[in-house]
Amino acid sequence: MRFNKVLLVRFPYHTYLGDASSIPVGLGYVAESLEVNNIDYAIFDMGLDYTEDQLINKIKELKPDLLGITMMTMHHLFHYKIITNIKNIFPELKIVVGGPHASTYRIKMLEGCEQIDFGIVLEGEESIVELCKGVPFINIKGLIFRENNQIIYNGDREFIINLDNIPFPKYRKFEINKYLAGTFGIHTTRGCPFECIYCPVKTAIGKRFRVRSPHNVVSEIEYWHNKGYNNFAMWDDNFTMIQKRVHEICDLLEIKNFNNLRISVPNGIRGDKADFNLLSKMKNVGFQMISFGIESAENKVLAGLKKGTQIETMEEAVKNAVKLGYDICLYFIIGSPNETYKDFEKSYAFAQKYPVIEARFYNIIPFPNTELFDWITKNNYFLRQPEEYLNTADHFINEPCFETPEFTLKERKKAFKKGWKLTNTLKIKSKARELHRLGPFKYIVSMFLLSYTYRKLFKNKYFRKHVIYLLRDIFKVDR
C-alpha cells in the first residue's frame, strides 16, 4: 500500500492560553521529511481555531489517502471521538497517529481507538516516509499496524544518531503569520540520559542523548534571520548538556554577528550544566531568557526525584544568571515523594530570593512507564485514576492526582494556591518593568495582560486578529 497525499493535523488542546502561540516544531520536522522525499502533503493546525467541521471540509477538498495526526495524551479521549467521526465519514481514509501519546500508549492506543490504522512510535521522520513509499508494514520499524484482527508492533526503530541528517523545518505550508509569539522554536538535541522518576521524556523521545552540530543549529537560525526573524526559543530538554557544543554554537553566532538576535531557553536547563563562563558567552551572543528546573529547594526531595544534583549547585547557577542580567524563570514541583508542606515552603522562599521574572509551581503528574507512576500504584496513593486524569490533567490546575501521608490533598491544594499567587505577582512586576515607559499605568496594563479576562480574549480568534497583534507590536507582548 502506497500513500500519495498526506494531510498532517494537529488537534486542539485548549491549554492555558490556547494553541496558537507557537508553531508546532515536531510537525514541522515531519512535514519537511515529506517535502524532501517528494511526497505531497498539506498542513491543518486546529490550534489556529479551526473546527472539526472545517477539518472535514479540508479532507473533502484535498482528498488525501493518509491522515497524519500528532497527538498528546491530554484530551486523547476527545480526540479519539474526532478520529471516529472522521472515519465514519471517510471509511477508506487511513489514519496514522504519532507524537507523545503514540510513544507512551503504543498498542494500547490502537486498542483504545479502533479507527486508528497506524501508530508511529518515537521518531517519525523516517517511518512515515517509508509508510508513504509503500514499504511492507512488517518491515517498518517503529510502526504499529493492524493485520487479520491483530495489532502488531514491529519494535523500536534505531535512533537517528546524526541529527544533521534530518532537514530542519522550513514550515513551507504552515500559516506562519497566524502564530502569535513571533518566535521560532528550535530543537538542537533529542533524548535524555537522566533518571528523574517523574519525567516522561525518555518514553516520548528516548533515553539516548543525540545532538545537532553547531553549524547545523546556526544554519537554521541564519535561515530564519535572513527572512527577517530575530526571536528564537531553544526547546531542548538538555540544551547545555554538552557545554563545549554550546560554546561552539556561541562562537559561530559571534562570527555571524546577527542583528537584534534574541534567544530564550524556556524548557529549563540544569544548574550543573551551565557554569559562569558558558552563561556569559551565551548572553554576549543574544541569549536573553533562561529557565531552571529547580523542582525543590530541599535536597532530600531532589534525591527522591533522582534529579542528580543539589540545590547548592542550582543556586550558584541562578546567582550567575542574575549577575549576567538574564531574564530568569524557575520551575518547582508540588507533591514529590517524601515532600512535606515545610519542604514546599523552602521552595516558596527560594522563588523570592532572586529577581526572577517568573516562578512556576506545578502539580506533578504521574505518567505511565515512569518510576513515579509505579511507586504511586504500589502504594495506592491515587486520588484520580489514570484513565481519568491522563485525559484531563494539567500541571497548572489545582487538582492533584495523588496524595501521600507526608503531603495531604488539603496541603497540596493550599501550596498550589499559594505558589500560583506568587507566580502572578512576579509576572506582574516583571511585565511592569518591561512597560516602564507607561509610567503610573504600567501596573494596570500589566495586570490586564496577565489577567484571566485577557487569557479568555486571547483564545478568541477575532480579538487576536484585531487587538492582540497590535498589543504585541506596541508592548512586545508574546503572551
Tens of pLDDT along 98-139?
999 999 999 999 999 999 999 999 999 999 999 999 999 999
pLDDT of residue 119: 98
Of 213, 224, 168, the residue nearest 35 (C-alpha) = 168
Of 224 and 425, the structure prediction assigns the larger pLDDT to 224
Task: Report the C-alpha gap between 158 and 127 in whole angstroms.
Answer: 11
pLDDT of residue 181: 66
Residue-wise burial string across 238-262, b where 16 or more C-beta atoms lie within 10 A, e elsewhere: bbbbeeebbebbbebbeeeebeebe
Beta bridge partners of 190: 210
Same domain, yes or no: 394 and 267: yes
Of 298, 259, 48, 300, the residue nearest 174 (C-alpha) = 48
Task: Report the C-alpha gap between 277 and 32 in whole angstroms.
Answer: 36
**CB within 8 A of 92, min separation 6: which ones?**
65
| Res. 472: pLDDT tops 60 | no
Average pLDDT over residues 19-45: 91
Task: Report the C-alpha gap between 226 and 223 in whole angstroms.
Answer: 5
Q: What single DSSP character describes residue 168?
A: P
Beta bridge partners of 264: 233, 289
Regarding pTM above 0.85, the answer is: yes
Same domain, yes or no: 110 and 191: no
Confidence class of residue 269 from pLDDT cuts 50, 70 and 90? Answer: very high
Lowest mean pLDDT among 352-366, 378-392, 450-464: 450-464
Inter-residue contact 117 to 140 (CB < 8 Å): no
Mean pLDDT, rounded, of the chain: 89
Tens of pLDDT along 50-100?
999 999 999 999 999 999 999 988 889 999 999 999 999 999 999 999 999
Assigned domain for 216 exists? yes
Q: What nine digits make up the cell of 95?
A: 489514519
**CB within 8 A of 383, min separation 6: which ones?**
400, 401, 402, 403, 409
| Res. 369: pLDDT tops 80 | yes
Same domain, yes or no: 228 and 354: yes
In angstroms, the Cα distances linking 364 to 52, 157, 216, 398, 428 are: 31, 30, 35, 11, 25
Please state, for a pLDDT cut of 90, what percent of the chain lies above it: 74
| Res. 402: pLDDT tops 90 | yes
Assigned domain for 130 exists? yes
**What's the domain range around 313?**
183-434
pLDDT of residue 200: 86
Task: Report the C-alpha gap between 234 and 220 in whole angstroms.
Answer: 12
Assigned domain for 474 exists? no
pLDDT of residue 478: 44
Same domain, yes or no: 108 and 215: no
Same domain, yes or no: 141 and 202: no
Beta bridge partners of 42: 7
pLDDT of residue 17: 43
Lowest mean pLDDT among 101-105, 287-291, 294-298, 423-427: 423-427
Of 183 and 354, the structure prediction assigns the larger pLDDT to 354
Average pLDDT over residues 259-266: 94
Q: Torsions phi, psi of 6, nearest 5? A: -120, 135
pLDDT of residue 16: 45
State which of 136, 153, 170 marks the end of a domain: 153
State which of 133, 153, 173 marks the end of a domain: 153
pLDDT of residue 106: 94
Assigned domain for 477 exists? no
Task: Report the C-alpha gap between 92 and 411 in whole angstroms.
Answer: 52
If one counts the domains in the chain, the total is 2
Average pLDDT over residues 327-334: 96
Same domain, yes or no: 203 and 346: yes
pLDDT of residue 201: 83
pLDDT of residue 446: 56
Confidence class of residue 450 from pLDDT cuts 50, 70 and 90? Answer: low
Same domain, yes or no: 105 and 22: yes
Please give the single-letter amino acid code of residue 301: V
In angstroms, the Cα distances linking 223 to 34, 35, 171, 434 are: 20, 17, 12, 29
Assigned domain for 137 exists? yes
Q: What nine digits make up the cell of 145?
A: 499496524
Assigned domain for 475 exists? no
Inter-residue contact 419 to 332 (CB < 8 Å): yes
Q: What nine digits make up the cell of 149?
A: 484482527
CATH of the domain at 28: 3.40.50.280
Assigned domain for 149 exists? yes
Same domain, yes or no: 228 and 145: no
Same domain, yes or no: 50 and 193: no
pLDDT of residue 36: 97
Average pLDDT over residues 198-217: 90
Same domain, yes or no: 38 and 104: yes
Q: What single DSSP character describes residue 333?
A: E
Average pLDDT over residues 402-413: 96
Task: Report the C-alpha gap between 269 and 286 in whole angstroms.
Answer: 17
> Residue 201, SS3?
helix
Assigned domain for 315 exists? yes
Same domain, yes or no: 189 and 137: no
Of 12, 225, 11, the residue nearest 98 (C-alpha) = 11
pLDDT of residue 183: 84
Inter-residue contact 334 to 364 (CB < 8 Å): yes
CATH of the domain at 211: 3.20.20.70
Same domain, yes or no: 289 and 194: yes
Q: What nine digits make up the cell of 337?
A: 515523594
Q: How far apart are the first and last CA of the chain?
A: 44
